[in-house]
Amino acid sequence: MDRMEELPEYAERVLEVAELIPPGRVMTYGDVAEWLGAGGPRQVGRVMALYGGSVPWWRVVRADGMLLPGHELRALAQYRTEGTPLREAPRSAEGHVPRLDMRRARWDGGDGDGAHI
């Protein structure tokens, strides 16, 4: 892959994990860092912000289940297409944008859906 040759090693590893997450499931920025045994949520978030457009970016999320600001509608369309568990927003929520149901959507790397990097 030409894309991978140009990236720093840590960025390659983060993007590889993002590609392993099955449709309808998510990992938090912290989950990805823990999986890799390197960096932290901020480093993973930075990689996703700079290079994540070429992978299923909507599957790497905030721990609170809030959708990525500025990308809510694009992410929501992906979640609905993939059947990702959502929690409907209360009427008091601004814009009534649902959140991810983290308890049901979070993927731990198991279930036979991917190999550990």
For the chain, give the percent of residues with pLDDT over 70: 85
User: Quick one: pLDDT at residue 2?
Assistant: 45
Q: What is the pLDDT of residues 63-89, one digit of tens each?
A: 999 998 899 999 999 999 999 999 987
Of the pLDDT bands very low, low, confident and very high (cuts 50, 70, 90), residue 26 is very high
Q: Give the contacts of 8 (CB within 8 A, at least 6 positions apart).
A: none
**What pTM, to 2 d.p., does this model score?**
0.84
